Amino acid sequence: MTTWRSVWFSLGSNLGDCAGHLQSAVDFICASPSFVDVKVSQVWRTKAIGGPEQPDYLNAVVHARTDAHARDILAFSHACEAQRNRQRDERWGPRTLDVDIIAIEGEAHDTAELQVPHPRACSRGFVLVPLAELADPELLLGSGLVLDTAGMQLTDVVLRVNQKTTNLGAEVESR
């Protein structure tokens, strides 16, 4: 029997067609048979934190149900970034698309490749504010949250979700 559980992704973009990059990530998640019941937060404009001088980001959070293993979810997030030509030249540098795994229901991982829950999510308003639209951040990430919303502004960007839901084993398109 397949065990379905929740996964939360943080999306960010500050190069090129930022809204298009975020929508592409949502589309990629929705198109995958490994993810169902996709929901997405509102989109927020945020100031870059750390790294070099760079443009503002657009950020959102996506929730989905999955039956994939954590290592496969990580590979999926990297594939999602690669399809938008993500370059990893500079730590905390500008990027076309960043897809981070915030949390996986009932799981904790602490390896060089994967840290879940995301170790810095607790102090990032651009994760916590949109996450709060979909789940209780304290339940997912633990106590000690630091909600810094400086430099955050709600945008009028709306990400569309074309999700598959399961109905007695059959996939059905819903909008």
User: Annotated catalytic sites, by residue?
Assistant: 86, 95, 98, 100
Q: Are 104 and 121 in contact (CB under 8 A)?
A: no
- Which residue in the block uniquely carries the two structure tokens 């790294």? 51
Q: Are 41 and 131 in contact (CB under 8 A)?
A: yes
Q: Are 26 and 62 in contact (CB under 8 A)?
A: yes
- Cα gap 54→133, rounded to integer Å: 27
Amino acid at 73: I
Residue 24: Cβ within 10 Å count: 18
Q: Are 40 and 49 in contact (CB under 8 A)?
A: no
- Cα gap 97→175, rounded to integer Å: 24
- β-pair partners for 39: 63
